[in-house]
A and B are shown apart, each in its own frame.
Chain A
Amino acid sequence: SQQGEEDPQALSIQEGENATMNCSYKTSINNLQWYRQNSGRGLVHLILIRSNEREKHSGRLRVTLDTSKKSSSLLITASRAADTASYFCATDRPTNAGGTSYGKLTFGQGTILTVHP
């Protein structure tokens, strides 16, 4: 079963607009990661946010994490046509009782983002 679920499934915007994608998950996590996949290619790591962090920035990317709601959002500001891709959230769950080890990285179904020039 999928740990993370993205919303929306598809998003179509104009260049220059902001794109927001959401991710919900079910169990406790070490961290949550966002990946990007261009059509027919492998996944590229974008950003990681740890369970004790609430917000993180990287260039035009902003990620928030609300562990009480078990949800995260990815904001891409000033989108470009080159941002067109599928975006996945992935949760990294602890594998031992102490919750200290890295482990099971499971992905949601992804959001397909289309940015029109």
Chain B
Amino acid sequence: DAGVIQSPRHEVTEMGQEVTLRCKPISGHDYLFWYRQTMMRGLELLIYFNNNVPIDDSGMPEDRFSAKMPNASFSTLKIQPSEPRDSAVYFCASGLTIKRFNGYTFGSGTRLTVV
């Protein structure tokens, strides 16, 4: 099992550009989360999906942020247009909650720098 796979690992972009972060959850997992981590705000929950359906997107900071999960094996987080304050590490996590649930698995994160 390769775990939760995020790409790219690092992204440097100019202000105003569109940024797309990608996540491949562990096969069979029914929950998928997107988090953002900064020194100032810690780990912020942006949005999460259950069986590919968005359940709560109240953490998405602005309309510039959007997330999709077109199928059980892929999710994207898009920022358009990007701003310097979006610079952070973005984590994706997935979990299987049926049967004996035992926590979520996080990806290695995407470090986004907007200049």
Is the pairing of A and B real? yes
Q: Is the CB of B101 within 8 A of A107?
A: no
Determine whether the beta carbon of B102 is less than 8 Å from that of A43: no
Chain B residues near A42 (CB-CB < 8 A) = 91, 106-109
Interface pair B103/A104, CB less than 8 Å apart: no
For the A-B complex, the count of residue pairs with Cβ-Cβ distances under 8 Å equals 55
Q: How far apart are B115's CB and chain A's nearest CB, in angstroms? A: 20
Q: In the complex, which range does the number of interface residues on chain B fall in? A: 20 to 34
Shortest distance between the CB of A76 and any CB in chain B (Å):
17
If A48-B103, A107-B42 touch, does A95 touch B108 (CB 8 Å cutoff)?
A: no
Map CB proximity to B onto A31-54 as digits: 1 under 8 Å, 0 otherwise. 101010000011111011000000
CA of A47 to CA of B102, assembled, Å:
8
Partner of B103, one of A33, A103, A107, A110: A33
- Among A41, A102, A104, find the residue whose CB has the most chain B CB atoms closer than 10 A: A102
A contacts, CB < 8 Å to B = 2, 31, 33, 35, 41-45, 47-48, 88, 95, 101-110
Using a CB–CB cutoff of 8 Å, the interface residues on chain B facing chain A are 31, 33, 35, 42-43, 45, 48, 50, 55-56, 91, 93, 95, 97, 101-109
**CB of A102 to closest CB in B, whole Å:** 4
- C-alpha gap A109/B43 in the complex (Å): 7
B109 touches A103 (CB 8 A): no
